């Protein structure tokens, strides 16, 4: 049985990261951030950029679960996998 992975919004809230923090860090249009956060829809590049931002802000590396996902629309929420803690803001961690 496959374990349910948390959605982007669930992880964001768990870390106390606001939408404004993501918008500022990722330098993305608010509508693009809201689309992923609220409806779990986004293009692969946008999702990856927001996951990189989430990783920087939280100190934990997050990546998409690529099993079966083409990356255009991830209905039901982008599944996230946590990696190791990174060294801090802007320093990459490894998965």
Tens digit of each residue's pLDDT (9 = 90 or more) over 28-66: 999 999 999 999 888 889 999 999 999 999 999 888 765
Looking up residue 31, the CATH number of its domain turns out to be 1.10.260
Distances from the Cα of 74 to the Cα of 5, 41, 64, 94, angstroms:
13, 5, 10, 24
Tens digit of each residue's pLDDT (9 = 90 or more) over 5-30: 788 999 999 999 999 999 999 999 99
Structural domain includes residue 41: yes
Q: In terms of Cα–Cα distance, which of 64, 78, 82, 89 is closest to 9?
A: 78
Structural domain includes residue 15: yes
d(CA 8, CA 55): 11
Domain count, the chain: 1
Structural domain includes residue 46: yes
Determine contact, residues 65/2, Cβ cutoff 8 Å: no
Tokens 């039901």 label which residue?
76
Q: How confident is the model at residue 4 (pLDDT cuts 50, 70, 90)?
A: confident
Q: What is the mean pLDDT of residues 61-78?
A: 52
pTM of the complete model beyond 0.85 = no
């Amino acid at each position: 049985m496959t374990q349910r992975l948390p959605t982007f919004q669930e992880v964001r809230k768990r870390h106390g990261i606001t939408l404004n923090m993501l918008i500022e860090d990722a330098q993305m249009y608010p509508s693009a951030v809201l689309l992923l956060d609220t409806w779990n829809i986004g293009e692969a590049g946008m999702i990856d950029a927001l996951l990189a931002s989430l990783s920087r802000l939280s100190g934990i590396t997050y990546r998409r679960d690529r099993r079966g996902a083409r990356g255009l629309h991830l209905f039901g929420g982008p599944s996230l996998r946590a990696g190791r803690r990174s060294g801090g803001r802007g320093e990459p961690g490894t998965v």
